[in-house]
Amino acid sequence: MAVQPLGNRNRALGLAAAVGVHVAAVALLVLFAADPSVPPKPEGDLVAVLPTEPLPPEPPPPVDEEEGAAAPPSRGESDDAPSPPEPPAPLQTPVPAEVSPDPGSDSGSGSGVAAGSGAGRGGEGSGRGAGAGGSGTGSGGFTPPVRIAGALSHADYARANPPAGAAGTVFIAFRVRIDGAVDRCRVVRSSGFDVFDRATCRLVEQRFRFRPARDARGQAVEYELRTNFTWEPR
């Protein structure tokens, strides 16, 4: 059968159908592209880029240093660098001095100028004790007396009213009773001036008090103490 050429009307219908098919295809593509559930196709292959040099190691975690520790000295610092000043020492409350319990010793003062002032000194002494059990020199646990009060002052020189410029050392002996009081003072060696000798014994008996001597059993005993005092003007 012979093919007859299409007319103008048929050509228009075919063109319209082709255009409609293309429009429908484009609409479907737009619809699928807008749908978020459909993941987009990756463009090209992913390529991993590796570093050409190894990465440096991570620094170690910081170590907590002990609080208050001093940093090590720098090598650049000189050994002659001045050290930091030390904190001031805390103030200490002075402790009152006590009379040392030297066995058989005593000291005193009692000198000055004729106007009524001066300075004096005492000397070392010795003694012997006696108690209910007998007498002795203080050995075998014996404790000699200790002076706890009494002294001769600078004004005592003027009160003695000595001759102008008079000076001398008087040696005395006296008894320390079990109650710590003093009596039976006597001059063993004179100072050369009666005013000094009499004033020394009188003042020692009036002012001096002792912790009594004790024997080995701890009982208080009488004790004879010997000492000396120097009277002199300044």
pLDDT (tens digit per residue) in 129-181: 444 333 444 456 899 999 999 999 888 999 999 999 999 999 999 999 999 99
Q: What CA–CA distance (Å, rounded) separates 174 from 177?
A: 10
Residues 210 and 151 sit within 8 Å (Cβ to Cβ): no
Residue 200: helix, strand or coil by DSSP? helix
Q: Are 123 and 107 in contact (CB under 8 A)?
A: yes
Q: Which residues pair with 128 in a beta bridge?
A: 224
Is the full-model pTM beyond 0.85?
no
Query: Token pair of 148, please?
Result: 């706890």
Q: Write out the two tokens for 53.
A: 């040099």
What is the distance between the alpha carbons of residues 187 and 200, in angstroms, rounded to a whole number? 9
Query: Which pLDDT value is given to residue 141?
Result: 87
Q: What percent of the chain has pLDDT over 70?
A: 41
- CA distance to 81, 88, 89, 90, 92, per residue, from 85 (Å): 12, 9, 12, 15, 20
Coil vs helix vs strand at 16: helix
Residue 56, pLDDT score: 64
Domains of the chain with CATH codes? 121-231 (3.30.2420.10)
At residue 170, φ and ψ (nearest 5 deg) are -110, 135
Other Cβ atoms less than 10 A from the Cβ of 114: the count is 16
